[in-house]
Amino acid sequence: MTRPDDGSSALTQLGRHTPAPNNPEDAVLERVPAPYPGKNYLVRFTAPEFTSLCPVTGQPDFAHIVIDYVPDQWIVESKSLKLFLTSFRNHGAFHEACSVQIATTLVDLLSPVWLRIGAYWYPRGGIPIDVFWQTGAPPADVWIPSQDVPTYRGRG
């Protein structure tokens, strides 16, 4: 008996040794068909150790990133998302640019019903910068839990 193709046969990174890309432009985000198209459910990814570089000083910036989305026809393949997020480690951009680039890249790839990002940046110069973005109002029939990342008090 043959297993129906779940879309994983087209993936180029899952199950293979894949070095981390040097920057987001070189990263390959992959998708597979959503297992329940037409049903609204929430998918959450949390990256508590996200890093990028300050575009002016080259110093590292750290963030706790939470991505919530309601799939339509596609879901993101998680290894490719991890590699995409890792690619920011050598990328110089302000907090706002990194945060919105992550979200809009996922929207362009997946065309989700809804997506939001909460990017909780650790302070540099004594001020944390938190960046929030979403595609619009969330669907009424989906349970969307709060992101529960505390405002800065030594996050964690």
The Cα–Cα gap between 135 and 124 comes to 28
Is residue 9 part of an annotated ligand binding site?
A: no
Which value, in Å, is the radius of gyration of the alpha carbons in the chain? 16
Does residue 20 contact residue 39 with C-beta atoms inside 8 Å?
no
Is residue 28 part of an annotated ligand binding site?
A: no
Is residue 76 part of an annotated ligand binding site?
A: yes
Is residue 17 part of an annotated ligand binding site?
A: no
Positions marked active-site:
54, 61
The Cα–Cα gap between 78 and 69 comes to 13
SS3 22: coil
Phi, psi (rounded to 5 degrees) for 74? -135, 150
**Residue 41: HSE in the Cβ half-sphere, 13 Å Cα cutoff:** 10
SS3 110: helix
Is residue 96 part of an annotated ligand binding site?
A: yes
Residue ranges of the binding site for substrate: 76-78, 95-96
Residue ranges of the binding site: 76-78, 95-96
